[in-house]
């Protein structure tokens, strides 16, 4: 029951963001959030992300009044992420999704705070990027542990982990080589949305298929939504990573010819 309640809370929040986006779309255009440059995807459009950031304004004002720093928020994001992994590993997908979402909110808030404090720095960006990797790994590790006795799903989990980290690596490598990071699908925020939504739908789907059906090593029971989400992340993220690296190689060749 707790999992279902958590899932319904998150679905209600998603509905609120979608409805707010519809309202904002009717208003005059505003200056875009530069932090979102290059972000967004099929499921997570830039417009939706703009709305999500806007809804956090009251919380940001409170944190500023309490003198909470961006690094405090970044470090704190590890705790809900860690407990999310434990919940998911134990099959509590709704609660795990709620905690993972809370951790994702921390990642949004720390960047907004840094800009409000005018304290953005390379060290802070490094710390934030490192915490992001840990946070993402926790959720994927929890899923991998849960499906540890099911070979096909386990391979899908590992594929999602590989794709997730290769997309981040391809982007970071392009920046290190001095070329513009190629755009593409399955950046971290989009991956998180797919995986969290898959977890959110598990308690809801369980109402329709409470008994597991195993076909070809895959559970086609209550875990089906998160299995499909992992499959999408595994396939699309790895394809995106390869395309990013190919594009980076092309940009490097162009850069060398121009020298």
Domains of the chain: 2-258 (1.20.120.1760)
- The whole-angstrom separation of Cα 41 and Cα 34 is 16
| 27, 55, 151, 227 from 211: Cα distances, Å | 47, 39, 20, 16
Output the pLDDT for position 85.
95
- The whole-angstrom separation of Cα 29 and Cα 217 is 50
- The whole-angstrom separation of Cα 22 and Cα 207 is 30
Token code pair at residue 253: 């060749």
> Which residues is 207 bridged to in the sheet?
none
| pLDDT tier for residue 31 given thresholds of 50, 70 and 90 | very low
Output the pLDDT for position 79.
93
* Each residue's pLDDT tens digit, 151-174: 888 999 999 999 998 998 888 888
| Single pTM value for the model | 0.82
Output the pLDDT for position 109.
83
In the chain, which residue ranges form alpha helices assigned H by DSSP? 2-26, 46-54, 57-65, 70-76, 78-89, 93-117, 122-146, 151-176, 188-206, 224-258
């Amino acid at each position: 029951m707790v999992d279902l309640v958590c899932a319904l809370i998150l679905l209600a929040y998603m509905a609120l963001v979608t409805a707010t986006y519809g309202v904002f779309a009717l208003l005059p255009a505003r200056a875009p959030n530069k932090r979102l440059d290059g972000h967004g995807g099929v499921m997570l459009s830039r417009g939706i992300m703009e709305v999500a950031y806007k809804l956090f304004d009251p919380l940001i004002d409170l944190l500023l009044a309490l003198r909470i720093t961006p690094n405090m928020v970044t470090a704190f994001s590890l705790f809900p992420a860690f407990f999310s992994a434990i919940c998911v590993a134990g099959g509590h997908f709704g609660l795990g999704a709620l905690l993972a979402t809370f951790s994702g909110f921390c990642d949004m808030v720390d960047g907004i705070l840094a800009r409000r404090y005018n304290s953005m720095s390379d060290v802070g960006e490094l710390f934030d990027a490192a915490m992001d990797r840990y946070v993402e790994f926790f959720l994927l590790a929890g899923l991998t542990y849960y499906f540890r006795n099911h070979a096909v799903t386990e391979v899908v989990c590992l594929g999602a982990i590989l794709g997730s980290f290769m997309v981040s690596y391809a982007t970071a490598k392009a920046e290190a080589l001095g070329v513009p990071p190629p755009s593409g699908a399955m950046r971290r925020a989009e991956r998180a949305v797919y995986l969290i939504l898959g977890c959110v739908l598990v308690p809801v789907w369980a109402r329709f298929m409470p008994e597991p059906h195993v076909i070809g090593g895959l559970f086609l029971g209550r875990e089906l939504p998160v299995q499909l989400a992992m499959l999408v992340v595994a396939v699309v993220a790895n394809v995106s990573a390869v395309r990013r690296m190919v594009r980076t190689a092309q940009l490097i060749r162009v850069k060398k010819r121009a020298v």
